[in-house]
Structures are given as structure tokens and as C-alpha cells.
Amino acid sequence: MGCGPKRRHHKPDKRHSKPSGPIMPRTPVILQSEPSECGLACLSMIFASFGRAVSLADLRRATPTSFRGTTLRQMMAIATDHGLECEPYRLELEHLKSIRLPAVLHWDMRHFVVLVRASRRYAWIHDPAIGERRVPWAVISDHFTGFVMLVRPSPHFEPAAAKAGRTGSEFNVATLLTRTLTMQGGIPLLIGLSLVLQLLTLGLPLFSQVLIDDVILRGRHDLVASMFVVFAIVAVMSLLTMAARGLFSVSLGTTASLDLMNWIVYRLLRLPTTFFEERSTGDILTRLSPLRQIQRTLTDNVVTSLSEGLMSVVLLVIMALYDLWSTVIVVAVVAAKLILVRIIGRRMKILTNEASVAASAESSLLLEAIRNIVPLRIFGLESMVHARWGRRVFDSMHAGERAAMGNLALMVSTEALTLVQTAAVLALGVQSVDDKTMSVGMLVAYMAFMGQLTGKVSKLESAIVDLTTTAAHVGRVAEFVAEPLTAGNMAGAAGAAHRPGKTEGQIGLTLDRCSFRYAPHLPWLFQDISLEIQPGETVGIVGSSGAGKTTLLNLLLGLRAPTAGEIRLDRDRITPTTRHLMPHRMAVVMQGETPFAGTILDNISLFEDEPDLPRVHWAASMAALDDDIRNMQMRYDTLVGEAGVGLSAGQRQRLLIARCLYQMPQILILDEATSNLDPQTEAKIVDNIASLHMTTVIVAHREAALRRAAQVYQLTGGRLNRVR
């Protein structure tokens, strides 16, 4: 997302015309994770085209974006920092055919793409939202806004390889295939059973050959009984092997899928909170939805590719022993089919990405509508939202339809090749029978072997297409693996085991000359602020909306690191990498936070297996919630719906406060935690918390929430000033 530059030129100078030197590395396709990251994805592609591997994950960490995205000016600053020379231009469409490529184009007023190649009729662009596209110039004119960023290496530019373990590129189909192949005892046994089954099926053409040549044509009726006994034995063995392979395949696929899902979700739940702030819930869910099938598809395709591939070679050898020239025709047709699969498969991958992006937009819109169903109903927006959703569903279905058309084209093309192959082989076979170089039984056996080979090649084609489309899904999941886990993220499960039963002494909190901004190219949110909170003291923070109060609390909690300065809990420095060393020493109610789905008891005790019931009742009483709960039919076993459905807004806030108090933290942080309460209840809770003499930080707009605060500070203009 972004806007065009203010500077305009109608024609680029000679420095940015097409180069005549050596060919540069091919520009890769790098897909964005969110619409706001299209600019960073384009820069990652540009850097790679000049030989410097800078992953999207690296750019994201160095220059984090918000939902507002990155402007062209900011992109130029980032590119310059990496040694590129950039110039923004306002160009007419015809000038794009003569500029130096790759170049960044401003697209649809809110998007960026990379132009990598241009011909008289078409332009090839790498769209971070979809992938590689060949677009006619007439279509380009409907999307290109006229703004372009031309780039070239500066004299000081040096190519550089990607840092190992930082890009997340190690998570791809090849990695998952290797992971699948190394599953202890699983894949080898499955391949072995498949090969046994394939070898048993080789007996059928031979059975047909003997039956025709010896029994029917030569009258060897004495062989009939023994032949059918052998046929029955082979058939029973085939059925048993097929059943064993099927059962084992289902078991192995389920185990492998569960293993992959556990691994991805384990990492997802331990990613930094900033990861979720920059992404929509619908997009995350859409990326995760194919996980159930990814590993199962890979498991099945590994077995299919290896077993069918080996047996295809065996069949070709056998067929060559029957008739060499017919086999040459078969090999040529198989090669043509695989080339078709490769060509169409690339298109299928692009369409799969398009469908996934459209499905993500559809899911995000529907989730947003469900979350805001009340204002949607009050303002009468049902028809508008339904129309928007319909357009996004159409985009998703249209991409799926085009993928289906690609599959149909592949099926028709391969079937046509199969018919040509069959006709040619039959013609040669009849000629061979006339020449007495092949018997009728041999021709029937050859055709049966060819039919088996056709079936195996068809399975290989399907496996290749499945792997290609799976690669698109894996690429969208790879971001969960690419994002590094800090020590604090990794220790989440270990820290959960610590549940202090009482406050372990009072501690203080110190901000020492802290400054923060979201990225180097963005303005400072606040600078050089200091604050000393004594053990057991209550401090209030006020400020206008957007002043940075919630961001400041995120720094105090160790969810973000200050750009400069440090925050200390007594002598311990708080950062995202050290907060795991202080489990449950801090508790917080954040603005807009909602309870979990479960019972009231579950929410207060945070789903402990054996909650301390007296402490649960005490925490609820301190939060002025105990009387409300006792008036409910199920009391503490009352079910709470998703996002606190079933409770009033005030009850939800008091439940969250009770949850914090149950933990008996040393530091309590409240961000507008009593904004939905009546004055009497709010005063009671404030007094109850003050009686605990725990270190407390309260962010509020209402004076009643701050009346027990020893100090009150105002955050304004990037400064923290004491007002009381």
C-alpha cells in the first residue's frame, strides 16, 4: 500500500534506460504476508535481482510496517540504505517498454508490483499478492497509476547472500518431503507395500498372454486349472496388500498431519505479539486451514511418486523387450505429458495463490461482520456487507474456476496424447503380428502393460500438480516458521507452570530514558522519558487517544522493546527476550481484552487443573464480581461464550480483573480496565486493589480510576509530564 511520489519526470534519463551489460540474476517471486507489506516484498525482489538476498522477514524486522503500509518515499529510503540508487518518475505507459528493469510500479492506487520483463504485446510482472503474471498492455493501463521507481546499484553496492536460518526459505515442499521421508519406518514400509502390490499386478498381462497364445490358440486346456489357481492366489495377495497399504497410509497420513499441525501451531502461539498486530485474523486462519491436507498430500505423493516412478521404469524395460519402437513412441508421449504438466502446473500455482488471497479477504470480511453484528444491524449495513462479501467470494470462486479449467485442459491434452499413443502402438502391433515378430497374446500383454503405464503416469501427473498447488499453500504457511522465536517465546510453556499463591514481595518499576518508534523511517512516538515507580506504589497515566499510552504499557510488559533506553523490574531488565524470566510477576488487563470461552472458574484460574477455590472466590470478591456470580444459576460453573458472550461489558471487565488478582502478581497494570463500570463499583474495586499495596500502573481517562494513585503522569507530545 502506498502513494505516488511528488516529484514528476516525463521521461527517465539515460542512467535508467535498458542496460546492455551482462544479464542480471532472475527476479524471484516473493509473496506478501499482508496487503501492507507489498512494498517490502517488492524491495526483497529488487534486492535479489541485483544479487543481494534480503528476505521479507529480514525487511519486516528491520522496518516494521503497520496496516497503513509503506509509501514510495519510505521504500526509496530503505533501498538507499541497502546500496541502491532510486529515482521516482511519472511515466506514460509507452515509456515502460524502454526503462531499465526490474522496476517498481504503483498499482491500483494502493499496491506495488515489480515489472520484470516487457515485450511488444505483454508485460511480465511479479505481484506480491498473487505471483508471476503475464499481462497485456491494455490491461496494464487500467491498473498502472503512472508512478514508477527506477533502481540501479550504486558504486558501493555489494551483493550478499542470505543469512542462514533467517529467511524461513528452509520451510518449503522439499523440506517437508525430506521430513516425510525420514519418518521412522513409515514411508519405507508404505513404499515397500506399494511396490509389492505393483509387482503383483504385473502378473495379469502375462496371464492374458498365456491364456490367449497357449490355451485358446494352441488348445492347452490342461493349463486352465493351474492358471486360475495362480490367478486366485495373486488376486488374494493383491487384495490383502492393498488393504494393508490403505490402512497404513491412513494411519501414517493422520500421524504426519498431526505432527505438522502441532509444530506450526506451537510456533504460532509463541510468535511475538507484533506479528498478530500486523495481520488480520481471517488471513491467519486461511493460511492454517490447508494444514490438515498438506502433510497427507505430501505423504501420499511421496509414495505415489517413488513407487509409480520405479514401476514405470520397470514397465518400460519390459515393454522394450516386447517391442522397442512401440516403446520409443510411449516414452515420447510420456515426456510430452510431463512437459505439459510442468507448464500448466506453474499456472495452477499462481491461481492457487490468487484463490488463497481472495479466500483470506473473504474470511476477514466475514469475521469482521460477525464481530460487529450489532452496529451492522443498527446502521442497516447488511446489504452493503453482503455485497462486499459477494464480490470477494466471486473473486475466490473465479480463481478456483480458472484452476479447474487448467485441470480440464491438462486432462484433455493428456487424454488426446494417450489416444494418439494407443493408435500408433496398435498400428505397429498389428504390423508386428502380421510379420510374425509378435504373437496375438504378446500384443494383448503389451497393450495391458501400456495401460498400466498410462495409469501410473496419470498418477504421477496428479502428484506433480498436487505438489505444485501444495507448494503455494506451504509458501503461505512458511511465514509462521520464518519468524524467529525469542527465548521468551520459547519459554511460554515452562513459565506457565509457575502459579504463585501469594505476592512474593513488593518490587518497583523503572523507565530509564526510553524512546520508541515503530520503524527508522517513522516519527518518534515518545522520546527520552523516564519514570520511577516505587514498590507498592500506584501510578496513573493519562493522555489523549493516540498519544502512545498502550504502546508504553507494551514496553512495560516486555511485549515490545524500546528503541532506546531500558526498562527494569527492580534490577532485571525487561525485553521481549527476558520477560520469560519473570513468570507471573506481572498481570494486566488490556483495553479491549475479552475473556476466554469456558466457565467463569476457568477464566479466573486460567484453566488450572486444580484451581484454588478459596483464592478464586477471594479474587472475584476483590473485583466486586462474587455477588453477581452467586446470583447466576450455575454460579462459578456458568459458561462464558466466545469473547465473553453472556456477560455484560462491566462483568467482563471485572472477570478480567479477578483473573489478574488470582495470580497474585507483584505488578498490576490496568489499561482502561474499569471504563464500563458504574462509579460505585469502580470506586470499590479501586479501593480493594489499593488495599493490597501492590505496585500498580493505571491508564485511564476517568478521574475516579486514578483517585488512589500517588502520582499521575500525562503522556503528550512524546513526553511524560507529572501532573499530580
Closest CA to 616 of 683, 583, 663: 663
| pLDDT score recorded for residue 436 | 82
- Tell me how far apart the alpha carbons of residues 357 and 195 are, in angstroms, rounded to a whole number: 40
Q: What is the pLDDT of residues 466-490, one digit of tens each?
A: 777 777 777 777 766 766 665 544 4
Query: For residue 260, what pLDDT band results from cuts at 50, 70 and 90?
Result: confident
Residues 6+ apart with CB under 8 A from 474: 171, 172, 173, 176, 294
Q: What's the confidence (pLDDT) of residue 501? A: 45
pLDDT in tens, 200-215: 777 778 777 777 877 7
Q: Is the pLDDT of residue 655 over 90?
A: yes
What is the DSSP annotation of 609-654?
Answer: SS--HHHHHHHHHHTT-HHHHHTSTTGGG-EE-GGGTTS-HHHHHH
Could you tell me the pLDDT band of residue 181, with boundaries at 50, 70 and 90? low
Give yes or no for residue 633 having a pLDDT over 70: yes
Q: Phi first, then psi: give them for residue 716, nearest 5 degrees.
A: -150, 140
Task: For residue range 16-29, list pLDDT tens digits in order.
Answer: 455 444 445 678 88
The domain made up of 509-722 has a fold known as Rossmann fold (3.40.50)
Taking the C-alpha atoms of residue 129 and residue 360, their distance in angstroms, rounded to an integer, is 11
pLDDT for 705 equals 87
Query: Is the model's pLDDT at 496 over the cut of 60?
Result: no
pTM: 0.69
**Residue listed under C-alpha cell 502378473:** 203
Model pLDDT for residues 267-309, shown as the tens digit of each residue: 888 787 777 777 777 777 777 777 777 766 776 666 667 777 7
- Average pLDDT score over residue span 657-682: 90
Spelled out in words, what is the top-level CATH class assigned to the domain 183-322+461-486?
A: mainly alpha
Question: Do 516 and 61 form a contact (C-beta atoms < 8 A)?
Answer: no
- State the CATH class of domain 37-153: alpha beta
> Which whole-number Å values give the CA distances from 317 to 334, 438, 443, in the listed order?
14, 17, 16
pLDDT in tens, 213-245: 777 777 777 777 777 887 788 788 888 887 887
Taking Cα atoms as reference points, which of 397, 395, 388 lies closest to residue 369? 388
371-422: per-residue pLDDT in tens?
778 778 878 888 888 888 888 888 778 877 877 887 788 888 888 988 988 8
Q: Tens digit of pLDDT for each residue in 698-724?
A: 998 888 888 888 899 998 888 888 887
pLDDT of amino acid 296: 67
Structural contact between residues 580 and 492, judged by C-beta atoms closer than 8 angstroms:
yes
pLDDT over 80 at 465, yes or no: no
